[in-house]
Amino acid sequence: MKKDININVHHLTRVEGHGNIVVNVKSGKIEKCEWQVPEAPRFFEAMVRGRHYSEVARITSRICGICSVGHTFASVKATETALGIEITPQTKKLRRLLKHAENFDSHVLHVYFLVAPDLLGAPSVFPLVPTHTAVVKRALQLKRIGHEWGSLLAGRTTHPTTVVPGGFTKLPTKKELEALRKVILGAEPDLLATLDTVAALAPKIPPFSRPTEYIAVSSDEEYGLYDGMIQCTMPDGKKERIKVADYKKVTNEWVPPQSTAKYCKHNLDSYAAGALARFNNNYEMLHPKAKETANRFGLKPICTNPYMNSVAQAVEVVNDVYKSVGIIDELLSAGIKDEELVKPTKWSKGASAVEVPRGILFHEYEYDKNGMCLYGNCIIPTNQNHANIQKDFEALVPELLSQNKSEKEMELALEMLVRSYDPCISCSTHFLNVKFVG
Amino acid sequence: MKYIIGIGNYSMFDDSIGIKVIEHIEENNLIPAGSEDSIRAIDLSGNLLNLFNYLNHSTEKIVIVDTAKIESSSHAASVTVSVPGEFIIFSPSQVESTKNLANISTHEGDLIKVLALAKETDYYIPEISIIGIFPKEIKNDFGLSPELSSKLPVYAKQALDLI
């Protein structure tokens, strides 16, 4: 029977910011199928103009409360490129260690608090407290480890104070790094239990596939989180590396009629950024234990199921733990040395690419001879994923109709799809909204 | 250890007041001399789940500074906070959240629900006081309304008095 479907999800929950899902089907014919992002621009690029280079990262780190480390790195790296600053190997290692902390912290939150409720049939984490107490407690414990890990290196987890152009203003001591190593390895039992939870829930992940282009930072030195070139992997496995300075040739921003947010496209009509894109691009650079985890979950490159982004995040959590232990060992072996901040050698324009939990992030700045910012540009990963979510919708809705899914089942499948991208449409407000009781 | 914790979004105008109070305390070295090792001012921004890190037996007291909208109720104090810049002090047990969120995350937070989650998962909850400051405007911009920025010293003193 040809049916009518009307899905209007306004302000989708468990994603960050404001996004709508609108699907209208009349007598079996799809009339509308849209992922809408009606959010106002935030004008951070305008705010950095006229600011001294030493202030810019402080401002742009405020773009996001969860990816503030990544935004700080993208900012200082672009500034360092523009100002001809070559950081030391020690700084690079410490930044990589901090990048893993952010990835770990964010992925734990997404997998446990935002995705698991879907797979357990709960509207949020709260109903899971009495039924899955140990799981919720484990999530909070892992989140706490992420906080300690990031705070040691960044001065504080959110909006780092120690990361500046040219290096670090404060370095961890040998004793602190040794303690951190113990804390990270102390997470192993909870980590293994997490993988068991993910393995138990994985069969509930919808079996959907839509080949697309996958774009991520890629490097021969690391699993492409902190530094590298831009790499595109096509569904047939063909790879291409592009210089970071040419990032606009990759992003090609445009604004569709149904959205106020910018969309991106490269070789195809859309591309994917995020954990799955990193996995598809950089599988070979994963730690062996992360590869074992991927194998356990049946996750292989090139995976074309966007719902598997959450599983790729679990694989990355394992990678974050063991790669970080390796970095700490290298730092301890070399000894932590006091280093002066590296000074600028020129005043020009520079771009950077960093992976934040949700995908590849670009910053670019231009400075005058006094070190004042003339131009800024930030392209966040969620915007790069909007077009891909739209294309997924266009492929998924006909599939769901052919499977004779109900309106509610279709709505949940589309909501889960959006949530699997872990979108961060904007940082929302945090004010209390309360009434007195008693 | 005692903590003064500021919550909010720095780029959402008056929603940043909790963070600005922490900045004011730090920039003006307002932690009393001799108490630097026992009182810390923390900018938690929107990472409300990180509050769990301070919920343990080594924490004696927490004062949280946040923007607050108080829905009408029979409580006489609610009248006071209808004026932008005014504030009210309360404990988590005195209120219930009326925020319409399906969940908690690091971006869009609900302090009251985070504390409820802590209680349900058996975290130790030390003494907590909340300074809820009534905003004039919450919008996509840096800065504060004059009604709030002129009272930064008042809020900071209140937080320090409470701690």
pLDDT tens column, B151-163 = 999 999 999 999 9
Token pair of A245 as six digits: 């300075």
Q: Is A43 on the interface with B (CB under 8 A)?
A: yes
Q: CA-CA distances (angstroms) from residue B67 to A185, A427, B128, B152?
A: 38, 16, 16, 13
Residue of B nearest to A134 (CA): B121
pLDDT in tens, A347-358: 999 999 999 999
Q: Is B72 on the interface with A (CB under 8 A)?
A: yes
Contact between residue B85 and residue B29 where contact means Cβ atoms under 8 Å apart: no
What torsion do the CA atoms of A156, A162, A164, A168 make, to the nearest 10 degrees? -140
CB-based contact A432 B50, cutoff 8 Å: no
The distance of B13 to chain A (nearest Cα, Å) reads: 10
Contact between residue B75 and residue B27 where contact means Cβ atoms under 8 Å apart: no
What percentage of chain A reaches a pLDDT higher than 70?
Answer: 92
Q: Is A134 on the interface with B (CB under 8 A)?
A: no
Name every chain B residue with its beta carbon within 8 A of the beta carbon of A136. 117, 121
CATH 1.10.1060.10, domain A44-388, yes or no? no
Q: Is B154 on the interface with A (CB under 8 A)?
A: no
pLDDT at A122: 81
B69 beta partners: A433
Residue of A nearest to B53 (CA): A144
Contact between residue A431 and residue B135 where contact means Cβ atoms under 8 Å apart: yes
Query: What ranges in A39-88 are assigned the alpha helix state H?
Result: 44-48, 53-60, 68-82
Contact between residue B52 and residue A144 where contact means Cβ atoms under 8 Å apart: yes
pLDDT at A203: 87
Complex prediction ipTM: 0.77
**Range with lowest mean pLDDT among A233-242, A251-260, A274-283, A417-426:** A417-426
Which among A42, A147, A148 has CB closest to B11? A42
The distance of A402 to chain B (nearest Cα, Å) reads: 31
CB-defined contacts A:B, below 8 A: 183
pLDDT at B8: 87
Q: How many CB atoms lie within 10 A of CB A389?
A: 24
Which of A112-116, B11-15, B16-20 has the highest mean predicted lDDT (pLDDT)?
B16-20
* 220-259 of A, contacting B, C-beta below 8 A: none
Q: How many CB atoms lie within 10 A of CB A155?
A: 15
- Biggest CA–CA distance in chain B, Å, is 44
Contact between residue A163 and residue A73 where contact means Cβ atoms under 8 Å apart: yes
pLDDT at A61: 82
Domain count of chain B?
1
Angle CA(A159)–CA(A165)–CA(A168) in degrees, nearest 5?
70
Name every chain B residue with its beta carbon within 8 A of the beta carbon of A358. none
The distance of B8 to chain A (nearest Cα, Å) reads: 5
Name every chain A residue with its beta carbon within 8 A of the beta carbon of B143. none
Mean pLDDT confidence for A44-63: 87
CB-based contact A123 B102, cutoff 8 Å: yes
pLDDT at A426: 47
3-state DSSP of B136-152: CCCCCECCCCHHHHCCH
pLDDT of residue A247 exceeding 60: yes
Instruction: Tell me the CATH number at B75.
Output: 3.40.50.1450
Round to whole Å and give the CA distance between A437 and B112: 13
DSSP A348: -
Token pair of B157 as six digits: 């003193």
Which among A62, A156, A436 has CB closest to B94? A436
DSSP B16: G
pLDDT of residue A214 exceeding 90: yes
pLDDT of residue B2 exceeding 50: yes
Q: CA-CA distances (angstroms) from residue A437 to A67, B80, B123, B159?
A: 36, 16, 23, 24
pLDDT of residue A418 exceeding 50: yes
Residue extents of the structural domains in chain A: 44-388
Name every chain A residue with its beta carbon within 8 A of the beta carbon of B89. none
Which among B96, B104, B130 has CB closest to A435? B96
Name every chain B residue with its beta carbon within 8 A of the beta carbon of A133. 121
Nearest to B70 by CA among B134, B139, B144: B134
Amino acid B13 reads F
Q: Is B89 on the interface with A (CB under 8 A)?
A: no
pLDDT at A27: 86
Name every chain B residue with its beta carbon within 8 A of the beta carbon of A130. 120
**Range with lowest mean pLDDT among A7-11, A181-185, B15-19, B82-86:** A7-11
**Structural domain for B12, as ranges:** 2-162
Q: Is A124 on the interface with B (CB under 8 A)?
A: yes
CB-based contact A158 B47, cutoff 8 Å: yes
Q: At what angle do helices A68-82 and A133-154 cross, to 10 degrees?
A: 30
- Top residue of B108, B131, B134, B137 to mutate, by most chain A CBs within 10 Å, is B108
* 154-213 of A, contacting B, C-beta below 8 A: 156-159
Nearest to A423 by CA among A393, A391, A396, A389: A389
Q: Is B40 on the interface with A (CB under 8 A)?
A: no
Which among B46, B94, B140 has CB closest to A430? B46
pLDDT at A15: 47
pTM for the model = 0.89
Mean pLDDT confidence for A378-397: 92
Nearest to A418 by CA among A192, A143, A211, A110: A110
Round to whole Å and give the CA distance between B28 and B37: 17
CB-based contact B117 A125, cutoff 8 Å: yes
